[in-house]
Amino acid sequence: MDIFILKNIFLSMDLVFQFSQNWYVIFFGFLLLWLILLIHRKSYRKRKEVKEQVCLAFAGLFIAIVMEIFAVSMDLWHYSPGDWPIILWPTYFVATLFGYQLLRTIEGFC
């Protein structure tokens, strides 16, 4: 992807700080589920695993942002009124944390 195109995408899109209350439900839902699994598995006591979770969450966040940039630039989807709600990125981060805990929990059952 051309740097000029990426620059235009970032310049033409605005960040939205006023968004639907449903975003809070999604964000706090993932956060609550992550905390429940974190406490259930007692993985907060394992320093190495906490580092793994945070690294994976940042990687997931990066992948999600790249996906958003690609999808918006290719007109695969649009945000109304054409802007990104800022709550997306913390939600991606927390959803990745939850995904990590969920996979580790399932791994423990097998």
Q: Helix and strand tally (H, E) in the chain?
A: 4, 2
Kindly report, residue by residue over 16-51, the tens digit of the pLDDT. 666 677 888 999 999 999 999 989 888 778 888 888
More confident position, 89 or 97 = 97
Task: Report CA torsion sign: 85, 60, 103, 52.
Answer: negative
Residue 107: pLDDT over 50: yes
Across 3-12, 18-27, 29-38, 94-103, least confident range: 3-12
Does pTM top 0.85 for this prediction?
A: no
For residue 102, what pLDDT is reported? 93
For the chain, domain boundaries: 3-109
Percent pLDDT > 90 in the chain is 30
Per-residue exposure over 3-15, b if at least 16 CB sit within 10 Å of its own CB, e if not: eeeeeeeeeebee
Q: How high is the pLDDT of residue 73? A: 78
